Amino acid sequence: MTAKIWTHSADSHLLEPKDLWHQFLPRAQAERMPRIEQINDDEERVHVDGKSFVRPLPKIMKVKGSTGLTIAELSHRPPGSRDIHARLADLNQEGVWAEVMFQSIGLWCGLIDDPELIRAAARAENEWLATEIQAVAPDRLVPAALMPLVDVDAAVAELYHAAEVGLHLVNMTTGHPRAAKDYNDDSWEPLWAAAEETGLVVAFHIGTDGGDQASMFRGPGGAVLNYVQAGMGGQYAAMKLVASGALERHPRMRVLVAEGGASWVPFIGDRMNEAYRQHSMFVRPQLARPPKDYLYEQVYASFQHDETAPAALWAMGYRNVMFGTDYPHLEGTFGHTQETLHGLFDDMTPEVRHRITRGAFEELFPHVSAPPA
């Protein structure tokens, strides 16, 4: 360990205040919004609009935060996950300058069925994100807008609203949106056009398919199988936008697949090119260039620990590899970010390190400032 490596993070999270919905929404609506209730030392219950389910709490890990944390806080919810000033102290200590921040509680909004409720919730959360979060350090904090994906018109309206309040990206679910056609359908065209027009990045955070219990693996190895499976929704989302021609029609549109690793991109690109070439008689629509070109140019992908991710750049020519801490989650690097960065990059050229820690991020979000020299 020598000098501090400053990085940006393309994948971080914030935990909304417990009373967020009550601050913005009428009581009757606020009470239907997602909330999390800890039911014992090992489990919590997620409530969303009359539905609820239990999920295991992350196990306590050794985490070195900026403050003296109690054991209960040494989980994936250190004070900085809620308190924006404690967060900045954590970021400075970890060597993280700017970061994309996804919601936590807001992610469960995908389970809401009532279009009116989800539209109101997204509008409220996005105004809160712009004024209470991003405004604290607009050159460092890049919160993702919550999107009402109940229909395309609602999504388009909220994307323009997010742009108007100054947000820089929108957060889509990786799964097939519940009340709309899938992302490869042309009905989504107005949203891609709006993203291109405003310059907002279209982000897919892995594991936002909706928590389908039926498709979970069980038995020996289940935890590992489910972990890998959870990352695949982002790959499908990217493939849908490439294969349907959406990215070709919108060459300035940029997509971020967060937390799902990066070395899948060359692999998927090769597979898509082979399909395109060998099965060309079946391929609709025809694209002007091979699918891998669009994937490589317009899709950005973030990883935390993956030791093969840098090679996707230097050995396989995929330039949009981005580091992400996944702060403050268990899957992330909080407490060992510098160790992780040195392990990844000490043997790499300065160009590779710069591109992955900063260059790709600053290309997507040119408004962020540079870290201390």
Residues near Mn ion (CB under 5 A): 11, 259, 326
Q: Whole-number minimum distance, CB 149 to Mn ion, in Å?
A: 19
Output the CA angle 254-259-261, nearest 5 degrees: 90
Q: Is 72 helix (H, G, I), strand (E, B) or coil?
A: helix
Nearer to Mn ion, 230 or 246 (CB): 230
Q: How many residues does the chain have?
A: 373
- The Cα–Cα gap between 64 and 200 comes to 34
- The Cα–Cα gap between 203 and 114 comes to 23
Nearer to Mn ion, 162 or 256 (CB): 256
Nearer to Mn ion, 16 or 259 (CB): 259
Nearer to Mn ion, 76 or 140 (CB): 76
Distances (CA, A) of 198 to 215, 278, 315: 37, 37, 34
Q: Whole-number minimum distance, CB 325 to Mn ion, in Å?
A: 9
Buried b vs exposed e over 83-115: b needs ≥16 C-beta within 10 Å?
Answer: bbebbbebbbbbbbbbbbbbbbbbbbbbbbeee
- The Cα–Cα gap between 29 and 108 comes to 15
Q: Whole-number minimum distance, CB 304 to Mn ion, in Å?
A: 8
Q: Whole-number minimum distance, CB 302 to Mn ion, in Å?
A: 8
Q: Whole-number minimum distance, CB 205 to Mn ion, in Å?
A: 6
> At CB < 8 A and 24+ separation, what contacts does 49-53 make?
49/111, 49/112, 49/113, 49/114, 49/117, 51/111, 53/211, 53/213
Nearer to Mn ion, 10 or 241 (CB): 10
Nearer to Mn ion, 11 or 94 (CB): 11
Nearer to Mn ion, 44 or 114 (CB): 44
Q: Which two tokens stand for residue 215?
A: 């498709």
Nearer to Mn ion, 58 or 317 (CB): 58
Q: Whole-number minimum distance, CB 102 to Mn ion, in Å?
A: 6
Q: Given its phi and psi angles, is residue 70 left (phi above 0), alpha (psi -120 to 50 degrees) or beta?
A: beta
Dihedral angle, C-alpha 7, 334, 227, 70, nearest 10 °: -160
Neighbours of 287 (CB within 10 A): 18
Neighbours of 38 (CB within 10 A): 11
- Non-local (6+) Cβ contacts of 222 within 8 A are 216
Q: Whole-number minimum distance, CB 105 to Mn ion, in Å?
A: 14
Q: Whole-number minimum distance, CB 13 to Mn ion, in Å?
A: 6
Q: Whole-number minimum distance, CB 329 to Mn ion, in Å?
A: 6
- Non-local (6+) Cβ contacts of 46 within 8 A are 34, 35, 36, 52, 53, 54, 55, 108
CB-closest chain residue to Mn ion: 259
Nearer to Mn ion, 11 or 99 (CB): 11
Q: Whole-number minimum distance, CB 204 to Mn ion, in Å?
A: 11
Nearer to Mn ion, 108 or 188 (CB): 108
